[in-house]
Amino acid sequence: MGLVLGSAVSLQVGAAFAVVLLGRVGPVGAVTLRMVLAAAIVWALVRPRLRHLHRRDLLVGVAFGLVLVLMNTCFYSAVARLPLGAAVTIEFLGPLGLAVATSRRVRDLLWVGLAGAGVFLLGETGFEPLDPVGVAFALGAGVCWAGYILLGAQAGRRLGGTNALAVALAVASVAIVPAAALTSGPDLVQPDTLLLGLGVAVLSSALPYSLELAALRRIPPRTFGVLMSLEPVVAALVGFLVLRQRLSGWQLLAVTLVVVASVGVTRAGPASAATRTAEPVPGVAGADAGRSKP
């Protein structure tokens, strides 16, 4: 739980930098700075060795990187059109749906339902009116988030956590740079913009993704999916503490529901991770039934 919570806090603090960055270079430019600078940091620190890896393992890393850049582009495009609380809430339907799809016990479904109710209440102030394009981007980000969980588990197991992150960020950078060059151009290399992008890269990519990959190697994907419900809760708390945004009574209830659900699933998590690591994970949207947990 500590790894996932640390990731959530880092992401939401990085979001404060990202809001400013979006106003300067747009969603594609913001994602580009985030991916490229994070890739440079990770490769300099990790210095991954990939020669001994099989082609199939590298392909998993490439797929992970493509999902990563698509997820971030969709989310930043949604945030540019929607209130942050609404965008995060809609995006969370992805991992929540994954948790439901991969659950095998009634108790897991109860915790997921409780977390889902909390997430819904958390976004209750931001649902009218919503830009339909922004909603579509947020839903796309949610689908990619579910894919990120599944592919991240596989990439971490096949390549090793730091190698998987290095490959994913490199692939994401190569994929997004051409689009950013067309949409943002010289604005990307302004000194103050680069410094802001560096803060986003560290807080929103390099650090949280390292923590998430470490978590995915220790807990089942469905447990990870429910624990990610902490992200909208942390976003609300950061908004209150940093931006002085007061929480309504419904939002306080939402925080309570999500925390209770997270505590419940965490208490059940270690046994799942320790005793069923070789158990096949049911596929999502036709995924291979023989896939192993990290």
258 closest CA partner among 146, 160, 123, 126 = 123
**How far apart, in Å, do the first and last CA atoms of the chain sit?**
16
Reply yes or no on whether the pLDDT at 280 is more than 60: no
**Sequential DSSP letters for 179-246:** HHHHHTGGGGG-HHHHHHHHHHHIIIIIHHHHHHHHHHTTS-HHHHHHHTTHHHHHHHHHHHHHH-PP
Q: Mean pLDDT score of the chain, rounded to an integer?
A: 74
Q: Given this model, what pLDDT does residue 281 score? A: 27
Task: Evaluate if pTM is beyond 0.85.
Answer: no
| Contact status, residue 257 vs residue 117, Cβ threshold 8 Å | yes
Q: How many helices (H) and strands (E) does the chain have?
A: 12, 0
Q: What is the mean pLDDT of residues 243-267?
A: 68
**Sequential DSSP letters for 91-105:** HTHHHHHHHHHT--S
Distance CA 273, CA 283 (A): 18
pLDDT tens for 31-45 read 988 888 888 888 888
Q: Given this model, what pLDDT does residue 175 score? A: 92
Q: What is the mean pLDDT of residues 248-252?
A: 71
Reply yes or no on whether the pLDDT at 164 is more than 60: yes
Distance CA 12, CA 239 (A): 9
Phi, psi of 225 (to 5 degrees): -60, -40
Distance CA 177, CA 183 (A): 10
SS3 state at 137: helix
pLDDT tens for 172-231 read 999 999 988 888 878 888 888 888 888 888 887 768 867 877 777 777 766 676 666 667
Distance CA 75, CA 271 (A): 33
Higher model confidence: residue 288 or residue 248? Answer: 248
Reply yes or no on whether the pLDDT at 292 is more than 50: no
Q: What is the mean pLDDT of residues 104-129?
A: 70
**Sole residue written with tokens 């985030």:** 34
| Contact status, residue 291 vs residue 108, Cβ threshold 8 Å | no
